Chain A
Amino acid sequence: MRYRMRMPATRSIFDILGPVMIGPSSSHTAGAVRLGLLARAILGAQPERATITLHGSFAKTGRGHGTDLAIVAGLLGMRPDDHEITRAFEHAAERGMQFTIVEGDLGDVHANTALLELSVDDSTVEIQGSSVGGGEVLVTRIGRFEAYADGRMPLLIVEHNDLPGEIAAVTRIISGSGANIAQMRVSRTRKGADALMLIETDTALPEAALAEIEALPGVLRIRAVPAV
């Protein structure tokens, strides 16, 4: 899959004047922090171990741009304007997050792409994403599934069996909770096998709705990912 340079409509003049960021590069530094931050939000915890594979321009010029520090800082929950980003490696040691940074070829993907293998409590998730410009990011793979998550809105990720009626059941609970679905995507490994729903909502879903979705037959696990 090849990503074309997006030209989103400028929603705000703060998209032009901003973000407030630790330099030097909105794509290689600020975007890299947000990629780490979004991956941490998807994992739902601070990773205990992280293997970070830098691809393309991230691999080539990442060190000079602090991409390595930036992704680690994001995994630690730092924001793109946090002065402590430059000390991210020390913070990781203090807070018990082991990490390895390697360079690798992830194939025909955006030039600024990283693969993050994150482990916590004996489970490991692979999250792949790209920094697509101006500090904006896109997670394109979560585990075995294709994804499309930019961290701009609250996101619900539902892993489930690919059964008829599953999507309707989930959206019914969401609409019943009063939340509005802004965007929804569905992907599956193959027909009838495991599938993934990615549901962006205007507001975060209430706990009760999340519990109800989690209890649906066929739902394997859910992740409620806040906006980053």
Chain B
Amino acid sequence: MAHTTFAELLEAAAEHGSIAAAALAQEVLESGDDAAAVRSRMAGHLTVMREAVALGLTGTVHSRSGLVGGDAARISDASGGPLEGVAARAIAAAVAVAEVNASMGRVVAAPTGGASGVLPGVVLTLATDRDLDDSAVIDALLAAGAIGAVIAARTNLSGAAAGCQAEIGAAAAMAAGAATEMLGGTPAHAGHAASLALQGLLGLVCDPVGGLVEVPCVARNATGAAVALTGIELALAGVRFAIPFDQVAEALASVGRTLPVSLRETALGGLAVTAAARELVGD
């Protein structure tokens, strides 16, 4: 089994040198595959992520309903915005993958299809920006998986189970922790980054217009990426979040259990029942 608490993961990271190395060792143990095979499988995921970013950025993908599409290229082509530079590129990449997902293209669920843009948006863009090689990106993806598993030990990672906080929130925590380590932060920094990202998305409801993984899901990949970047920025600056990641994850699970069913992917609350939403889906 993957590590079920971040405290355990930190202990393993102390032994193996990093969260990524601890995650790899655990996966080798669990799967019976050797380290090269696990890394090669993750390299395959990385290829799928890159293809999705590239396809989405062409601006040619649109969902079957027509509700979303083309925004990744719009963000990528713009200039003069306050996040211009690596942050805007990360957001564009996150939206690109989310648009590919919404248009029945191929993605890596991370941890879900609806939240599949945040992790590649943040990690791949930062790696390109810092000229890091694939090996560093694969390490980051391994670390992201281990951080996600800590949350998954407490709640099912689905909007239906615990709201969008368990999808975009989890994705942002995974991306923040993984990228912090990738950029030279310690495992403890990574934990603070994950906590700082997740605290900003606690309570986020799942309220898809028409029940589709489109509005607000594509936009939430953008805001989720921005929150993850903020977590990374703060943690690398030495900001510590007062609540340890295990307890932030526990809070997510607890909030998820108390969310009304109308705000858990049923399209019976939140944005899904606004006048504009009803008009869009022809209710």
Which A residues fall within an 8 A CB radius of B? 5-7, 9-27, 29-30, 57, 60-61, 63-66, 69, 81, 83, 85-86, 111, 133-135
Contact = CB atoms under 8 A, between A and B. Distances in A.
A23 B104 contact: yes
Contacts of A30: 109, 113
A81 B160 CA distance: 23
A135 B116 CA distance: 14
Interface string B71-93: 00000000000000000000000
30 contacts: A5-B161, A6-B156, A7-B155, A9-B153, A12-B2, A12-B30, A16-B148, A17-B108, A17-B148, A20-B44, A21-B107, A21-B109, A22-B107, A23-B103, A24-B102, A24-B103, A24-B213, A25-B114, A27-B160, A29-B104, A57-B211, A60-B267, A61-B210, A61-B267, A83-B105, A83-B106, A86-B104, A133-B156, A134-B111, A135-B109
Contacts of A14: 27, 41, 145
A64 B68 CA distance: 12
Contacts of B65: 64
Contacts of A9: 1, 4, 153
Contacts of B217: 24
A66 B65 CA distance: 10
Interface in B9-33: 23, 26-27, 30-31
Contact of A23 (B100, B146, B211, B266): B100
A212 B23 CA distance: 44
Contacts of A133: 156, 158, 160-161
A13 B142 contact: yes
Contacts of B188: none
Given A20-B107, A20-B108, A29-B113, A13 B27 contact: yes
Interface residues of B, number: 57
A212 B42 CA distance: 42
A17 B145 contact: yes
Given A23-B100, A83-B106, A134-B111, 7 more contacts: A10-B2, A17-B145, A18-B108, A23-B101, A24-B114, A83-B105, A135-B109
Contacts of B41: 14
A69 B174 CA distance: 31
Interface in B147-175: 148-149, 152-153, 155-158, 160-161, 174
Interface string B33-53: 000000001101100100000
Interface string B236-270: 00000000000000000000000000000011000
A134 B114 CA distance: 11
Contacts of A23: 100-107, 113, 116, 213
A133 B156 CA distance: 9
Contacts of A12: 2, 27, 30-31
B112 A66 contact: no
Nearest to A17: B145
A63 B213 CA distance: 12
Contact of A17 (B45, B100, B113, B266): B45
A85 B100 CA distance: 14
Contacts of B142: 13
Contacts of B141: 17
A134 B42 CA distance: 18
B130 interface: no
Contacts of B153: 9-10
A18 B45 contact: yes
A135 B157 CA distance: 12
Interface in B182-219: 210-214, 217
B110 interface: yes
Given A23-B101, A64-B64, A16 B116 contact: no
Which residue of A13, A69, A86, A111 has the most chain B CB atoms within 10 A of its CB atom?
Answer: A13
A85 B105 CA distance: 9
A63 B211 CA distance: 11
Contact of B111 (A16, A27, A29, A83): A16
Nearest to A62: B211
A57 B159 CA distance: 13
Contacts of A26: 109, 112-113, 158
Contacts of B174: 16
